[in-house]
Amino acid sequence: MKVKSSLVSQLLNIFLIILTFIILILMNLNYHVNLLTFSFLSLLYFLLIAIVLILLNEIIIRKLYVYEIEEKGIRESFSLFSKREVFIPYSNITKLELKKSFVGRLLNYGDIEVVSSSSNKIILKGIKNPETILKKIKSMFEKYKETKEENE
């Protein structure tokens, strides 16, 4: 089962970027911010640009990660110029943690952190309905333990 990040969390980031650009344009038009001199307005201008870049980074990163819940474990794939995969089998999972911000609780998205005994970590970022996905991972974990006990 492939798990994707929530469209709501991505749209919220896009809305924040657009709002920040509007503030930047209004600052430039109304106050004629001179970026070459050091002032409070120029500092605020650069801070807003940094926020836009951080939000763009989050949107791009979420599009490049693919998470899969498989029969034997959880796989995270990252593809940009090269491909990187992390696989954590259910037998190595030591911790499952759900993280939801205030906005995430309102809009029903969050992060799920999966930690293995070999200190590998997969963070499923911005997942829609994270409680349902966490229950699915726990049920697959229990199913794996049961089949392992039956085979022994």
Report the CATH number that the domain containing residue 95 is assigned in CATH: 2.30.29
Residue 133 contacts residue 124 (beta carbons within 8 Å): yes
147 and 78 in one domain?
A: yes
Which is it for the CA torsion 126, 131, 136, 138, positive or negative?
A: positive
111 and 47 in one domain?
A: no
Domain that holds residue 88: 70-151
Q: Tell whether the model's pLDDT for residue 149 goes beyond 80.
A: no
Q: Where are the alpha helices (DSSP H) in 35-129?
A: 40-64, 102-107
* Nearest partner of 34 among 23, 45, 25, judged by Cα: 45
Q: Which of residues 97 and 18 earns the better pLDDT score?
A: 97
Q: Each residue of 98-129: pLDDT tens digit?
A: 999 888 898 888 999 999 988 789 999 888 88
Report the pLDDT value the prediction gives residue 29, as an integer from 0 to 100: 74
Query: What's the structural domain count of the chain?
Result: 2
pTM of this prediction? 0.69
Q: Each residue of 58-77: pLDDT tens digit?
A: 777 777 888 999 888 999 98
Q: Each residue of 22-69: pLDDT tens digit?
A: 877 777 777 776 666 777 777 787 888 888 888 777 777 777 888 999
